[in-house]
Amino acid sequence: MPINPSLSDALMDVQPTGLKTSIRHVSHPPRGLRTGPPLYRRARRSLAGLTCPQAVWLRPVLLALMAAIISAPAAAEPRDQWPTAATITGTPDYIVDGDTFAFGKIRIRLKGINTPEIDEPYGPEATDFLRELIAGGLTCYHTGEKSYDRMIAWCVTPEGRDISEELVRAGLANDLPRYSNGQYADVEAEAKAEKRGLYSE
């Protein structure tokens, strides 16, 4: 691959003495890098065309630079994205309604249940119940699912109480068998039998 004439002139001024002109004599990167990421291997193949005497010394420099870029650690994960470990622990910053709350910009939707909206009958009661239940903090486990801009999660109190189950037991949430696999069917039946909350009428 011919080198740009202007670059060639610049390299002539800084060319080290005694430089080998054969590509065979240019030092290779460490063995681990020779079988490195595809981007690195493609860069090596592209740079293999630099055969003119003025450009030979440039090849290992560029290879080393490429290796440094590829091996650089990834940028820190933004604070408002879901943690890599797929769990989050703490006290929510605010509560949206009985089944949705947020840590900063992370909005979490409780898995497997549905509570009334805040402006619907028993909506305020469900919201207040949730607020009291998680006042001491909670741990949420991301299921890998999303609903709009909300992370679907299974959440428990520090004592291990399933928050979704407690809402259903209080008659302030419906079990959604399609999403819970019927996990809360028994406590929902109990709430109906005892005429709690939504089932009081």
**pLDDT tens, 180-193?**
999 999 999 999 99
How confident is residue 63, by pLDDT bands cut at 50, 70 and 90?
A: low
Range with the poorest average pLDDT among 25-29, 88-92, 123-127, 161-165? 25-29
| Domain edges within the chain | 5-71, 87-199
SS3 139: strand
**Per-residue model confidence (pLDDT) at position 147:** 83
User: How would you label 174-201 residue by residue, b for 16+ Cβ within 10 Å and e otherwise?
Assistant: bbbeeebeebbeebbeebeeeeebbeee
pLDDT greater than 60 at residue 89:
yes
Between 28 and 171, the more confident residue is 171
Computed on alpha carbons and rounded to an integer, the radius of gyration of the chain in Å comes to 31
Q: How many helices (H) and strands (E) does the chain have?
A: 9, 8
pLDDT greater than 50 at residue 14:
no
How confident is residue 102, by pLDDT bands cut at 50, 70 and 90?
A: very high
Question: Can you tell me the distance from the alpha carbon of 124 to that of 81, in angstroms, rounded to the nearest whole number?
Answer: 29
**Per-residue model confidence (pLDDT) at position 20:** 34
| Alpha helical stretches, state H, the chain | 5-14, 31-34, 38-47, 53-56, 58-71, 123-133, 163-169, 177-180, 185-193
Level-2 CATH architecture, domain 87-199: Beta Barrel (2.40)
Question: Can you tell me the distance from the alpha carbon of 87 to that of 49, in angstroms, rounded to the nearest whole number?
Answer: 49
Give the model confidence (pLDDT) of 159-178 as tens digits. 999 999 999 999 999 999 99
Residue partners of 88: CB distance under 8 A and separation at least 6: 82, 103, 106, 108, 139, 140, 142, 153
Question: Can you tell me the distance from the alpha carbon of 114 to that of 101, in angstroms, rounded to the nearest whole number?
Answer: 13
Between 56 and 25, the more confident residue is 56
Between 51 and 92, the more confident residue is 92
